[in-house]
């Protein structure tokens, strides 16, 4: 059984998430929504292929509708994942650890909800625990759970921070995400290499400029 230790340090808890905590306690699948069947989804892919001018009967495209639907099942599996279940196990044996925990360079890939085109990059996450910590791999899994949905980077950043805030109830959360969006780099303005940076700070990282600066310096490796 996990040991019970005193709170790491005094101080007010992190601010409440603007998104209700209940929103993180289940998957994102809308059970009231009537979902198309797999065959209907494959037929929709075939329609899109015909729309761009392809011959859907040619050999190279015969299995494309099936393959594309299977790929969507993998790329968007985050809708079926529950953030609360990912962060459900914590550990109390920390030997009085009283600083924040930072994981840098969490690779992620997601899809822009406006064009359903990929964006990809790195997430940097820190949280200041109160008396229990969560397994490090769980934070990476949390990023994937939200990234494997249609997203904007701003929403993704807020969701990751909000889930940690609502479920773990730390003294503060800091999230930085940097990503390249193919909807900007390979179409439209076509500016390859342009990066988008988004941040979200709560609790001690929002209220204490020194903690925020220390986090950002550690992210940059200073």
Among 124, 148, 181, 211, the active-site one is 181
Catalytic residue check, 114: yes
- What phi-psi label fits residue 46: left (phi over 0), alpha (psi between -120 and 50 degrees) or beta? alpha
Residue 162's closest CA among 186, 179, 145? 145
**Which one of 42, 124, 151, 153 is the catalytic residue?**
153
Active-site residue, selected from the candidate residues 40, 93, 113, 154: 113
Write the CA distances from 146 to 35, 57, 99, 126, 192, integer angstroms: 20, 36, 26, 17, 25
How do beta strands 118-127 and 172-181 pair? antiparallel
Is 82 a known active-site residue?
Answer: no
- CA gap 215, 101 in Å, rounded: 10
Helix (H, G, I), strand (E, B) or coil at 121: strand
Q: Is 113 a catalytic residue?
A: yes
Q: How far apart are CA 102 and CA 14, in angstroms?
A: 16
181 is a catalytic site residue: yes
Active site residue 115: yes
Of 111, 112, 148, 211, which residue is the catalytic one? 112
- In the set 15, 54, 85, 115, the catalytic residue is 115
Choosing from 54, 85, 183, 206, the catalytic residue is 183
Sign for the pseudo-dihedral over CA of 205, 124, 141, 66: positive
Q: Is 153 a catalytic residue?
A: yes
Is residue 124 part of the annotated active site? The answer reads no
Catalytic residues: 112-115, 153, 181, 183
């Amino acid at each position: 059984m996990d040991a019970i230790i005193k709170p790491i340090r005094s101080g007010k808890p992190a601010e409440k998430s603007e998104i209700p905590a209940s929103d993180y306690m289940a998957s994102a699948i809308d059970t009231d929504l009537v979902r198309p069947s797999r065959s209907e989804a494959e037929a929709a892919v075939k329609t899109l292929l015909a729309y761009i001018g392809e011959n859907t009967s040619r050999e190279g495209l015969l299995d494309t509708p099936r393959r594309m639907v299977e790929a969507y099942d993998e790329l968007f599996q985050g809708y079926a994942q529950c953030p609360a279940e990912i962060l459900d196990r914590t550990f109390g044996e920390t030997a009085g650890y009283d600083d924040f925990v930072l994981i840098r360079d969490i690779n992620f890939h997601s899809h822009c909800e406006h064009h359903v085109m990929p964006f990809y990059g790195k997430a940097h996450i820190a949280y200041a625990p109160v008396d229990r910590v969560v397994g490090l791999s769980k934070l990476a899994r949390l990023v994937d759970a939200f990234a494997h949905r249609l997203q904007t980077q701003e929403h993704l950043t807020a969701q990751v921070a909000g889930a940690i805030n609502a479920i773990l109830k730390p003294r503060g959360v800091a999230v930085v995400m940097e990503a390249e969006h193919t909807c900007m780099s390979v179409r439209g303005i076509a500016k390859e290499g342009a990066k988008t940076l988004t941040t979200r700070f709560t609790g001690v990282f929002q209220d204490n400029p020194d903690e925020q600066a220390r986090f950002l310096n550690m992210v940059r490796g200073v």
